[in-house]
Structure 1
Amino acid sequence: MNTTLTAVPGFRVGHWTDLQAQTGCTVILCPPEGAVASASFIGPSPGTREGVLLAPEKTVERVHALLLTGGSAFGLAAASGVVRVLEERGVGHQTPAARVPIVPAAVIYDLAVGDPRVRPGDAQGEAAARAASDQPVPRGRVGAGTGATAGKYLGGAGAAYGGLGSVCVERHGVRVGALAVVNPVGDVLDEVGGLLAGPGTGPGATAFTPGDVENTTLLAVVTEHTLTKAACRRLADAAQTALGGVIRPSHTAWDGDSAFVLSACTRPPADALLLGALVQEAVQAAVRDAVRRAAHST
């Protein structure tokens, strides 16, 4: 039984992983006609591509894929490989001269974990896109979560693997899928507030100051239910809020958290209150899933 993001029809996920260099990238392919999408970016240093395009007031409504990647700003180059695959398949925003695939992307900083000379690029993004399927999403130290770490407020010695997690939650016929790449400066908490990853002492035990671009949790949330771009943005904000219940401290001055919401718009609109609740439930479950699976894959 598929209990991951790909249980939502129309969305496929593929990874490229380098365990030796401890980096990778993950591609979410939307239905060929694209998905209505928006995003929320919180923190001083989010690394993104096409992020401005996702603001509700911008013209283009639909995206055709989403790239989440390691490699810091270098990893954004992997989006070019995804674009090439989509162009080859005739997928993109129609313009007078060509179909132009719209592929937003967001990065985590994992350069200090493995080999900083190895970063996802054009070929790796293409490989992840070609590997995308509707099968259950592989999780743990895979794809963009390969080099993700959590609990870094005491320095690298106290960090734990963060990983990549994914879930699908459904209630009253409303379904939401989520995928999380967990790379925060804070600890990750379980369902009752216990420690899942990180030192657990809280900041202040040492004078260590985290790097200002080295911590980011990436979220992707998908649904079939029809949403406007503005509604996607509101749900992206709700996804960010959910991090406060699973990461402590969250949204610090050293985190560049990015949350994307994508709607296939193949089913009627759902109750907005229920949908928001499911988004937050799915985000927290995906974060915990990432950490638990990363711990078992070390």
Structure 2
Amino acid sequence: MGEFDLKSSTLDKGLEIAKDFVDKLIMPTVEETGLFLKDHLTMWRFSNQLKMLNKAKNLCEKHNIKTKKISLKVLVPLLEYATLEEDDSMQEKWAILLTNLIDSQQNIENHVFPYILSQLSSNEFYPMEKVYENCLVRRFETQKELKDFKTFKPSFEENMKKEIAEIDQKLNKAKQPLKYGSKLYELRTKKRHLERDLTELSYREISLKHAILRPEIVKEEDFQSFEISNLVRLGLVKEVREFFAESQTLEIPLGDEDFSEFTTYANVDLDIEMDSTTEYILTDLGELFFKACREKKTE
């Protein structure tokens, strides 16, 4: 077998075809840079890295962030993945992620976050970021409602207990129940309503606490099916399926069926039809990730 000729016309033609193909995929073209393909890609990635680092530096100055050192296990993948980002708005997210990871006032250091961000398109990231923001707003408003409720709950309870005690006194003083029948009925009805409201007052606090902890729903219609699958794969979204049975009644005749007008039937409920509902929720990992990709608020 003869020596392989790097200058052969076949190799030159192959390189030209490859170069023309790459020119259609990246900008600027190889001719404009005057570099070989490898050098061109290296320069393009280096340029992206510089832009991202400068954005991160500006964010640190904007929010007076005191930086800390982070593990190379986190930093190196982040810098590598960020260089491949072509979307300007997503490059901003890489810079924000970096600033949050190096912020000495935050305890955020997760080596999987750069990988997750590298696996998301803008069509997946921004709707999910909105889900996270809705979660923050809902929890903030519910926590405020709970705080206000706890403030006024003692006075509500005291007033209702006082009113119930007054009704009890009126009921005990009633000497002629027949003469005051309608009035006594009104008092007893009012007392039952107050006792019910008093019980619901305790349940209201429990309900608000549960509402704060409730995970945020991800609307399936906001995404393509493959995007939902990707979000589930990355652990940002979780599928929750609830099964339930629809009850059907079976009538079983008792006695002689020949005399149908005298026949009685026993009704038996049979759970024979199963169905299910599926919804998607934001996971704890998802909350931590989008928090890490959220620009720090300056007081």
> What range describes the TM-score normalised by the shorter chain of this pair?
under 0.3
More strand by share: 1
Report which of the two structures shows the higher radius of gyration computed on alpha carbons: 2
More helix by share: 2
TM-score (norm 1): 0.23
Higher RCO (C-alpha under 8 Å, 6+ residues apart): 1
TM-score (norm 2): 0.23
